[in-house]
Structure 1
Amino acid sequence: MTQISERLAELQEESVVLIALYDQDDRLRYANAAFRSTFALEPDECPFWAELMRRNTSAGKGTIIRAADFDTWLVSAQSRRGKLPFRAFETDVADGRWLWMTETVQSDGWMLCIASDITHLKASERDVRQDRDFALKASQTDELTSISNRRFMMAALESLVQRQASVEAARGCICIIDLDFFKRINDLYGHQTGDDVLIDFARRVHPLVRRRDSFGRIGGEEFMLILPDTVLTQGAAIIDRVLSAVRGARPIRSVPAFSYTCSAGLAELHAGETAREVYARADEALYHAKQSGRDRLRIVA
């Protein structure tokens, strides 16, 4: 067995296929020579994925990012990255190659990335596939905030329910979050300011979300957070941090005293429950949070 493991390690290091392993916090833990060369990594480097993307973009290396604003692209990319057990997509890199990248994610959040060179495909086919990939990303992304949209979030919720049904003792929570008195914000300051508040909320919550979690806007001022492999006490701790971060926000420069809050309803997925049922229970918990004074979390077991 030791000999096989050693041979496998040698082949991984020598392979022209790009191989990398990220932990649950999205920090690189292993990369073979092909991956390190493509993404300008020293042998002993273990950066976070976001740090690697930012550094390479500034240096004109690694993945080609066709976006006017890097941070907006990063939020959008992280909204999809590592959320599903398996995902495949295509990407261009600065050295002129076109790669077919796959992500395989374990239940604890560790992720294996493997990329193969598909530059040899015809240019016409490449354009069609890139257009398809762009359209898929757009169909899953909220246009205003750049986080996941309702379509993506409902699919992620169905995936959580299916996994709970197939994996013994699998746990998970969902939380529905609503901005308090949002109509009043629009009426007092205008819809453009209302949009700015929605963007501010998304940007404040996004860093608090673990990579295996899914966070998206599901309509108006309503958002959903899906927490796989999480019990109620863990979920409540995450949402408490969200509420605290939002309370400290001062997003309107012309009105420094302006602040806003949000309310949240948290529900744990039960065995045999449908996506519709757990969503309804989280929505009911949100209703009670609103009725009992807002700016708080209510939990339904």
Structure 2
Amino acid sequence: MEGKLRRILRFMELTDVFFAVFDEEDRLLFANRKYRETFFLEAEENPYWPDLMRRNFHARRGTVISSPDFELWLKGTLSRRGKVPFRAFETDVHDGTWLWMTETVDEDGWMLCLASDITPLRAQGRTLRQERDIALRSSLTDDLTGIANRRFLMERLVDMIEREAEATRSPPGCFAILDVDNFKQVNDRFGHACGDRLLVGFAQKISTLVRRIDCFGRLGGEEFGLVLPRMTPPEAAGAVEAMLEAVRALRPFSEHPDFSYSFSAGIAPANCREDQADLYARADAALYKAKRAGKNRVCLSD
């Protein structure tokens, strides 16, 4: 078996197909020669994917990123990356190479990336396809915060319910609604520009606390959604409580260093073959219960 594995790895080094594996925390575990050459990786280097993209962006190499605000682009990309079991897309590289890339994600959040060089095949219509891909990404991204929007979040909610219907051993997934407390007072006291800054900072903080397989997005206004596949209600409550503690510690405005804020959250477990509207309504009812109980807390659905 060991000899067969060595031969498989040798083939991976010889092939012109790009091959890489990332773990559930988005750290590179393995990449073949072609992938490392194209994305400027040393032989024993295993960076996190965001760090790799950031480094190459500033060096103007690797993947072409057209957005002038890299961190906003990264935030939006991470809110969607690894959230679906499989996706395929085209991407271009600074050296002129055009790639057809696929991402396959397992139930634990590990990702297999495969890519082929299609530069000679797909030159015609490339600009049109790029514009289409940019428009598609925009349609799934919240304009203010840069994270996933309601449309993308609801699609992932449906995915979780459907997977729950097929699951036999994994724990049920949960859906949480997070609502920033007293947000109108923030706007009234400090102005809408500060309110927007608070929402951007809130989205950024929560995004750092979710798993690869979770999906966090903005539902609208000061309300956000969190899809938590394969989590029991107590696990989901613990995860959201940790987020609440982290948010309480934030000081969003340097000009008002004593100001802090909180959020309220309602959590509902997914039921087999449940309609997404019913799951949403149960999470919303739990949020309302948290608000009535004094805000700044997490409540589970009845």
Shorter-chain TM band: over 0.9
| Residues in 1 aligned to 2:186 and 2:49: alpha-carbon distance in whole angstroms | 36
Shift of 1:94: 1.8
Structure 2 residue aligned with 1:272: 273
Q: Which amino acid aligns with 1:43?
A: A
Instruction: Report the number of matched residues.
Output: 301
**Offset at 1:238?**
1.4
Q: How far has the Cα of 1:23 moved from its partner?
A: 0.7
SS in 2 for 1:67: coil
SS in 2 for 1:134: helix
SS of equivalent residue, structure 1 residue 208? coil
Q: Unpaired runs of 5+ in structure 1? A: none
Q: 1-side partners of 2:22 and 2:201: how far apart?
A: 28
Q: What is the CA-CA distance between 1:224 and the residue it aligns to?
A: 0.3
Distance in 1 between residues matched to 2:89 and 2:263, nearest whole Å: 35
Aligned-partner residue type, residue 23 of structure 1: D
Deviation at 1:206, TM superposition (A): 0.8
2:206 matched residue in structure 1:
205
What is residue 31 of structure 1 aligned with on the other side? Answer: 31
- Residue 4 (structure 1) shift: 4.7
SS in 2 for 1:87: strand
Q: Distance in 1 between matches of 2:127 and 2:4?
A: 41
Equivalent residues of 2:181, 2:261 under 8 A apart: yes
Partner of 2:233: 232
Partner SS, residue 119 of structure 2? coil
Q: Secondary structure at 1:127's aligned position in 2?
A: helix
Name the TM-score, length of structure 1 as normaliser.
Answer: 0.96
The alpha carbon displacement at 1:122 in A equals 4.8
Match of 2:83 in 1: 83
Corresponding residue number in structure 2 for 1:196 = 197
The separation in 1 between residues aligned to 2:121 and 2:129, in whole angstroms, is 10
CA contact (8 A) 2:20 2:29 kept: yes
Letter matched to residue 269 of structure 2 = E
Contact 2:23 2:110 in 1 (8 A): yes
Aligned residue for 1:147, secondary structure, equals: coil
Normalised to the residue count of structure 2, the TM-score between the two structures is 0.95
Greater CA deviation, 287-296 or 69-78? 69-78
Residue 230 of structure 2 aligns to which amino acid in structure 1? D
Matched, 1:131 2:143: no
**Secondary structure of the structure 1 residue equivalent to 2:112:** strand
Identify which range, 291-300 or 164-173, moves more after superposition: 164-173
Q: How does 1:42-191 map to 2 (within 5 A)?
A: 42-170=42-170, 171-191=172-192
User: Separation in 2 of the partners of 1:31 and 1:254?
Assistant: 46
1:272: how far off?
2.9
* Higher mean C-alpha displacement, 193-202 vs 61-70: 61-70
Partner of 1:261: 262
CA distance in 1, matches of 2:124, 2:12: 32
The residue number in structure 2 matching 1:285 is: 286
Stretch moving more, 1-10 or 70-79? 1-10
Could you give the per-residue CA deviations for residues 256-277 of structure 1, whole angstroms, max 9, x where no partner exists? 2222110001111122322122
- Mapped to 2, the partners of 1:166 and 1:179 lie a distance apart of 34
Aligned partner letter, 1:175: A
Give the whole-Å Cα distance in 1 for the aligned partners of 2:121 and 2:203.
38
How far apart are residue 198 of structure 1 and its match? 0.8
2: CA distance between counterparts of 1:230 and 1:90? 33
Cα RMSD after superposing both structures: 1.5
Letter in 1 for 2:203: A
Task: Could you tell me which runs of 5 or more consecutive residues in structure 2 were left unpaired when the two chains were aligned.
Answer: none
Give the partner amino acid of 2:29: R
2:12 and 2:19 in contact (8 A); partners too: yes
SS of residue paired to 1:66: coil
User: Hey, what's the Cα distance between the residues in 2 that align with 1:118 and 1:95?
Assistant: 13
Could you tell me which amino acid in structure 2 is paired with residue 154 of structure 1?
A: M
AA of the residue aligned to 1:280: A
CA contact (8 A) 2:161 2:271 kept: no
AA of the residue aligned to 1:273: E
